[in-house]
Amino acid sequence: MACIIFGAGSYYGLFCRPEPGDYIIAADGGWEYCKQEGIVPDLLLGDFDSLTEVPDFPHVHRVPVEKDDSDMMLAIKEGLSRGERMFHLYGGMGGARSDHTLANMQSLLYLACHDAQGWLYGDRERYTAIRNGTITFPARERGIMSVFCLGADAIGVSISGAQYPLEEARLTANFPLGVSNHFIGNPITVSVRDGSLLIGLLDK
């Protein structure tokens, strides 16, 4: 089971359809994407600055416009409070609000710090984050993988199975050493001993 959140940013379609038992949250304008996909969310929340009116829906949580959390972050916290540990975030990238794209990338680290995993979906790309851990991606014949330091220096970074391997390296936030690696038909494993990584997968 997973928590699937639809935000109000640019929407590029579903990576996969929700399954029975998934918990679905429409965050403000994400309501429109749910309607587009024929999906009835379990909860609609937000300050509703992206919709002209609050929809007539039985499960609405309205919050003030002036607040510390974005609507997406509120939805993430709601999912965590329910015990969800896998999150899929749609409508969280692109458009005119690159600040929200960056905020949602940071939210992936927030999830990793709360023993959960999040995926943020864009246009033929998706991102996740890991902290003091390891992740393995299934083999692909082609595609790009980029690895970025997210926060303080990431120590003991290793990448195996990719075109450009790495072993016990230090990645920093001021130099993009891990950008544009490539799948070559093998599973790719990325690990970090101490620190946090943002990992992006791009279809070619």
Domain range 3-123, CATH architecture: 3-Layer(aba) Sandwich (3.40)
Task: Kindly list the distances between the CA atom of residue 39 and the CA atoms of 17, 31, 79, 119, 153, in Å, as whole numbers in the listed order.
Answer: 9, 9, 18, 19, 41
- pLDDT tens sequence for the chain (204 residues): 999 999 999 999 999 999 999 999 999 899 999 999 999 999 999 888 888 788 888 998 888 777 888 899 999 999 999 999 999 999 999 776 788 899 999 999 999 999 999 999 999 999 999 999 999 999 999 999 999 999 999 999 999 999 999 999 999 999 999 999 999 999 999 999 999 999 999 986
- Predicted confidence at residue 97, as pLDDT, reads 77
User: Which residues does 130 contact at the CB level (< 8 Å), separation at least 6?
Assistant: 112, 190, 192, 196, 197, 199
| b/e sequence 73-90, b meaning 16+ C-beta within 10 Å | bbbbebbbeeebeebbbb
Every domain range in the chain assigned CATH 2.60.120.320:
130-202
Task: Give the count of beta carbons closer than 10 Å to the beta carbon of residue 21.
Answer: 7
- Predicted confidence at residue 47, as pLDDT, reads 84
User: Which superfamily, per CATH, for 130-202?
Assistant: Thiamin pyrophosphokinase, thiamin-binding domain (2.60.120.320)
Every domain range in the chain assigned CATH 3.40.50.10240:
3-123
- Predicted confidence at residue 69, as pLDDT, reads 86
Looking at beta carbons, which pairs linking 165-171 to residues 24 or more positions away fall under 8 Å? Answer: 168/193, 171/147, 171/195, 171/197
User: How many CA atoms lie within 13 Å of 135's alpha carbon, on the beta-carbon side?
Assistant: 20
